Amino acid sequence: MRFYKIISAVVVCLVVLSGCQTTQQSDMAEAKPITPVPSTLVEAIVDQPSPEEIYLWHRIRAGFSLPEVDQKSVNHERKRYLRHKDVLAEINRRSADYLYLIVEALDQQGMPLELALLPFVESGFDPYAYSHGGAVGLWQFMPATGKRFGLQQDWWFEGRRDIVQSTQAAVEYLTYLNDMFDGDWMLAIAAYNSGEGRVQRAVRANKKAGKPADFFSLKLPAETRAYVPRLLAISDIVRNAERYGLELPSLTNAPRVIPTNVGGQIELAVISELSGVPSARIAELNPGFNRWATSPTGEHAVLIPLENQQQLTEGLAQLPTKQRVSWQRYQVKSGDSLGKIAQQHHTTVKVLMTSNDLNNHLIRKGQHLMIPLGDNARLPPVRAGEAKPIKYQVKSGDSLWLIAKKHGVKYQDISRWNALSSTTLRPGQSLDIYTKTPQKEVRTVKYRVRSGDSLSVIAKRFDVTINALKQWNGLNSDRLRAGQNLTIKVDINRG
């Protein structure tokens, strides 16, 4: 701002000098005229970009239009946020990749730019955030509301987690709510949190009782009564950062990532190879993808760092169709089983079932299966280091948070590794959990008891305990008979 103060001072001086010149010329006809300011300098002064043109946070602040209110609830939330002096830097860190996209989407519709901070209130700018009620993503869409605004939610893709699609849906939903409440953004934001029906009923009740029907006068759930003040509080901190001893982050008002159309189905690993962007970065920017590839139907866009877009576009133009996804169509033969087919094609039964939407292991002769090849032959979650997953079976009373804490990982990672679309778990459900050290990889094998076998002999042969053998097979005694079939769980990583 120092530059602009200097320019202002120069302009004032020029005006003053101009006035002095007129006076002097009336008294002293022979006085030399003051040399005028070059027109190029004037143009340069006029054309200087404003802070909101240069920095995204200044642009956001310039686009604020919600009323500033002096309410106890807003003051409380502001004090709570200000206890953490790094609050703005933390918001910036979490949202830096895609905040510009959110601001653009709102600005194009002429919406208050305070709404760009709504994902902070909703999810902490975490696309993998889940609520206990089933809301998902930056904007915390419930399944039904997500479908209502066109968000795809299936085995391949979770649109509620996708940055671009969920933001567009949120813009549409908030616009709809604002129209419903006759341009009252406070009521629209409250309805976004608690549902339009609940806010409508509260408004009608107040009007019927002759009371004011503004947000702060309504009887609403405690969560909603705190929700709007939180947005107003964090917005006030951004608006008056200097007053609170905070500094607006220097995020450039320009896109860092850009949605790029990749056409039909394609492996994410291929996108990584063509664009030069590491696979982990592709996954980070595109949390909506549940699998190793985009959906088989329709065209798809992926978020790519701006500097890599041209390389990806050129690579896609030269990529043969058959190299987009590696699949093989297989016709089931007599005597086939999923296990046999999986072994022949170096994949797993789980992948075959999920790839072909099978609910059980039953297959029939003549049936066609799609078999993923290469990197597709495995379910490829984002892994912690080079570790192999452990299999965790959900117990009654478990939650993602408890399981994550037990294994020293983040609950968001468990969601991503297992492509979960909600936090709801069921007892007996199997989860893959990756840790930084190699873990057991257990395979179940069938063993046919031979003459002379005993539990101790078999236990030693497979490096398991006698008690484990009994438990796996429901045995009440040590007696075995030749020809008896046993189930044995073997750690294939043990030497």
**Does residue 21 contact residue 28 with C-beta atoms inside 8 Å?**
no
Helices H / strands E in the chain, number of each: 22, 8
Nearest to 463 by CA among 440, 432, 483: 440
Count, residues in the chain: 495
Q: Which long-range contacts (CB under 8 A, 24 or more apart) does 472-477 make?
A: none
What CA–CA distance (Å, rounded) separates 12 from 364?
Answer: 89
What is the CB neighbour count within 10 angstroms for residue 258? 17
What CA–CA distance (Å, rounded) separates 143 from 152?
Answer: 10
Question: Rounded to whole angstroms, what are the CA distances from 417 to 210, 369, 401, 409?
Answer: 54, 24, 15, 11
Nearest to 231 by CA among 186, 197, 191: 186
Find the distance separating the first CA and the last CA of the chain, reported in whole Å: 68
C-alpha Rg value of the chain to the nearest Å? 31
Whether 68 is a known active-site residue: answer no
Helical (H) or strand (E) element with 260: strand 257-263
Q: Of 77, 114, 122, 267, which is the active-site residue? A: 122
- Active site positions, annotated: 122
